[in-house]
Amino acid sequence: MASIVLYLNNSAKDITFPLLEDRFQFLNPNTSSDSLFSSLAGTVRILLCVANSPVNSETLDKYPSLECVVGSTTGLNHIDLAECRRRGIRVTNAGDAFADDAADYAVGLLIETLRRISAADRFVRAGSWAVKGQFPLSYKVWGKRVGIAGMGSIGRRISKRLQAFGCSIAYNSRKPKANISFPFYASVQELASNVDILVVCCALTNETRHIINRDVMKALGKEGIIVNIGRGSLIDEKEMVKLLVKGEIGGAGLDVFENEPVVPRELHALDNVVLSPHRGGAVPESLLRLQEIMIANIEAFFANKPLLSEIELESLSWILS
Partner 1 sequence: MRSSSFFHRRRRKFSSPQGRNQNLHRALRILSVVSPKLMENKGVLMTCPMSSYLEEQLQKRFRLLKLWDSQMKADFLKQNSQLISAVVGNTVLGADSELIDSLPNLEIVSSYSVGLDKIDLVKCKERGIRVTNTPDVLTDDVADLAIGLALATLRKISVADGFLRNGLWKNSDFGLTTKFSGKSVGIIGLGRIGSAIAKRAKAFGCPIGYHSRSRKPNANYKYYSSVIDLAANCQILVVACALTDETRHIVNREVIDALGPKGILINIGRGPHVDEPELVSALVEGRLGGAGLDVYENEPEIPEKLFQLQNVVLLSHVGSDTVETCKAMADLVLANLEAHFLGKPLLTPVV
Size of site (CB under 8 A) for partner 1: 55
Query: Nearest to residue 89, comparing CAs of 115, 71, 101?
Result: 71
Instruction: Supply the minimum distance, in Å, between the C-beta of residue 289 and partner 1.
Output: 10
Can residue 19 be called a binding residue for partner 1 (CB under 8 A)?
A: no
Piece of 42-50, 55-63, 147-155, 160-168 that binds partner 1 (CB under 8 A): 160-168
According to DSSP, residue 228 is labeled E
Give the residue, chosen from 31, 42, 140, 266, that forms a contact with partner 1 under the rule CB under 8 A: 140
Asked if 100 is part of the footprint of partner 1 (rule: CB under 8 A), the reply reads: yes
Task: Based on the shown chain and the rule CB under 8 A, indicate whether residue 111 belongs to the binding site for partner 1.
Answer: yes
Q: DSSP class of residue 79?
A: B
135-151 burial, b at 16+ Cβ within 10 Å, e below that, comes to beebeebeebebbbbbb
Report the length, in residues, of the chain: 321
Taking CB under 8 A as the binding criterion, the range among 55-63, 116-124, 175-183, 204-212 that sits at the site for partner 1 is 116-124
Which residues share a beta bridge with 193?
A: none
Is 197 an interacting residue with respect to partner 1 (CB under 8 A)? no
Single out the catalytic residue among 67, 83, 248, 260.
Answer: 260
Give yes or no for a cis peptide into 261 (omega within 30° of 0).
yes
Instruction: Write down the least CB distance from residue 264 to partner 1, Å.
Output: 11
Closest CA to 232 of 205, 210, 207: 210
Closer to partner 1 by Cβ: residue 211 or 290: 290
Q: Is 260 a catalytic residue?
A: yes
Q: Enter the DSSP assignment of 268.
A: G
Query: Could you give the strand order of the β-sheet that contains 168-172, starting from the edge strand earlier in sequence?
Result: 168-172, 145-149, 197-200, 225-228, 251-254, 273-275
Residue 96 touching partner 1 (CB under 8 A):
no
CB of 245 to partner 1, least distance (A): 15
Strands lying side by side in the sheet with 25-27 = 25-27, 4-8, 46-49, 68-71, 90-92
Name the residues that contact partner 1, by CB under 8 A: 13-14, 100-101, 103-105, 107-109, 111-112, 115, 117-118, 120-125, 129-130, 133-135, 137-143, 160-161, 163-166, 260-263, 268, 274-277, 279, 282-287
Q: Which residues are catalytic?
A: 231, 260, 278
